[in-house]
Amino acid sequence: MQISTVNQQFAMDVAAGLSASPKSLPAKYFYDKRGDYLFQQIMELEEYYPTRCEYEIFDTYKHRFLELFQHSDRPFQLLEFGAGDGYKTKVLLDAFTAQKANFQYIPIDISNNVLQILAADFKKRYPDLNIAPFNGDYFKALEQLSENTAYRKVVVFMGSNIGNFTRIEAVQFLRQIYQRLAKDDLLLIGIDLKKYPQRILDAYNDKKGITRDFNYNLLLRINKELGGNFKLENFLHSPTYNPQTGDAKSYLVATKDHEVYIEALEQTFHFEAWEAVYTEISKKYSISGVENLAKKSGFEVVNHFFDQKKYFVDSIWRKA
Ligand SMILES: C[S@@+](CC[C@H](N)C(=O)[O-])C[C@H]1O[C@@H](n2cnc3c(N)ncnc32)[C@H](O)[C@@H]1O
């Protein structure tokens, strides 16, 4: 089977994850065209509270954010990591453009599909916006931060994307951002907070089964792009939440002993009955945990902004 250069990395990561014990698949591969669409559906689910909470925070504090971003005459550069379709970003940009703020917007995403959708939408909505989309992995995008420009950099990492890292990985990633920023540059980070455990579990186990389909999409993508023969009926979507660590984790659990062949890898993988494949972490933090994360990665907390229920926090950190 012929596979593209892009898919070679996908093939290598799938081979490594399914050969490991316990098995895993990297969550960043959720996002192809269908995955992007399913995530947009997830954001509208009744159970999926993070989007509504962060939207409320942005709508309440958008002018305060602009004051903080604009603290001198220098223009600022908004670099948004994992921008998705920019649904919530529009709340900020509506306010910033209405006030004729001087800034450049750089949306960064691994999914070229979603980035194209965002770019087309934003160019229509904001004809005068200075926008420079970047398609690639977070780590590739970090290089953008090293560029010395006239702009004050404001890194935006919303939607609790940071929760998709373990705490150790989160500190390592945030340190890399910190090291590439200059004094007084900012980070706006959206983090999902610890709350009623059942509320969290429900958010990853919606009644319509969209989150299940989002997880299944990893298997469908392997079938389509790497010639796999996964059968969805042989796997259950199984989310868990540990209220002590804040780890909400998703698994695909094999319901019977069976084998899967992946043509591009010329390899067969054995799944024992009830063996779990780990797909994603969506880690929840306490406020002291958020402050600790800032401190450990070198940042100084400027301010926390909460929704009314205190389910979510958007926190602004500064490189001192
Ligand atoms: C959970 S969605 C959140 C989208 C948006 N930030 C929001 O709050 O609605 C995560 C986004 O990050 C992108 N993404 C995930 N892993 C990534 C990675 N390693 N590098 C770059 N983008 C990534 C996905 O393609 C997706 O659009």
For the segment 20-47, what is each residue's pLDDT rounded down to a tens digit? 999 999 999 999 999 999 999 999 999 9
Q: Is the CB of 138 under 6 A from ligand 1?
A: yes
Q: Is the CB of 154 under 6 A from ligand 1?
A: no
Q: Looking at the CA of residue 31, tell me the nearest atom of ligand 1.
A: 25
Q: Is the CB of 204 under 6 A from ligand 1?
A: no
Q: What is the mean pLDDT of the chain?
A: 96
Q: Is the CB of 91 under 6 A from ligand 1?
A: no
**Domains delineated in the chain:** 5-30+209-281 (no CATH), 49-193+285-318 (3.40.50.150)
What pLDDT band is residue 6 in, cutting at 50, 70 and 90?
low
Max Cα separation, the chain? 64
pTM of the model: 0.95
Q: CA 99 → CA 63, 71, 111, 153, distances in Å?
A: 9, 14, 31, 19
Mean pLDDT of the region 141-165: 91
Q: Looking at the CA of residue 138, tell me the nearest atom of ligand 1.
A: 20
Residue in 13, 25, 28, 29 to alter for ligand 1 test, most ligand atoms within 8 A of Cβ: 28
Mean pLDDT of the region 173-183: 95
Which amino acid is present at 110? I
Centre of ligand 1 from the C-alpha of residue 171, in Å: 18
pLDDT for 58 beyond 80 = yes
The span from the CA of 317 to the CA of 191, in Å, is 13
pLDDT digits 0-9 by tens, 200-245: 999 999 999 999 999 999 999 999 999 999 999 999 999 999 999 9
Structure confidence at residue 5 (pLDDT): 64
pLDDT digits 0-9 by tens, 162-177: 999 999 999 999 999 9
Centre of ligand 1 from the C-alpha of residue 162, in Å: 10
Q: Is the CB of 159 under 6 A from ligand 1?
A: yes
Q: Is the CB of 39 under 6 A from ligand 1?
A: yes
Q: Looking at the CA of residue 159, tell me the nearest atom of ligand 1.
A: 8
Q: Looking at the CA of residue 36, tell me the nearest atom of ligand 1.
A: 27
Protein residue whose Cα sits closest to atom 13 of ligand 1: 82
Which amino acid is present at 40? Q
| String of DSSP letters for the chain | ----HHHHHHHHHHHHHHHSSS-B--GGGG-SHHHHHHHHHHHT-SS-HHHHHHHHHHHHHHHHHHHHHTSSSS-EEEEEET-TT-TTHHHHHHHHHHTT--EEEEEEES-HHHHHHHHHHHHHH-TT-EE--EES-HHHHHHHHHS--SSEEEEEE-TTGGGGS-HHHHHHHHHHHHHHSPTT-EEEEEEEBP--HHHHHHHTS-TT-HHHHHHHHHHHHHHHHH-B---GGGEEEEEEEETTTTEEEEEEEESS-EEEEEGGGTEEEEE-TT-EEEEEE---B-HHHHHHHHHHTT-EEEEEEE-TT-SEEEEEEE--
Cα angle 176, 182, 183 (rounded to 5 degrees) comes to: 115
Contact 94, 121 (CB under 8 A): no
Centre of ligand 1 from the C-alpha of residue 165, in Å: 12
Buried b vs exposed e over 1-30: b needs ≥16 C-beta within 10 Å? eeeeeebeebbeebbebbeeeebbbbbebb
Centre of ligand 1 from the C-alpha of residue 116, in Å: 14
Centre of ligand 1 from the C-alpha of residue 94, in Å: 21
The span from the CA of 192 to the CA of 40, in Å, is 18
Protein residue whose Cα sits closest to atom 2 of ligand 1: 84
The span from the CA of 230 to the CA of 259, in Å, is 9
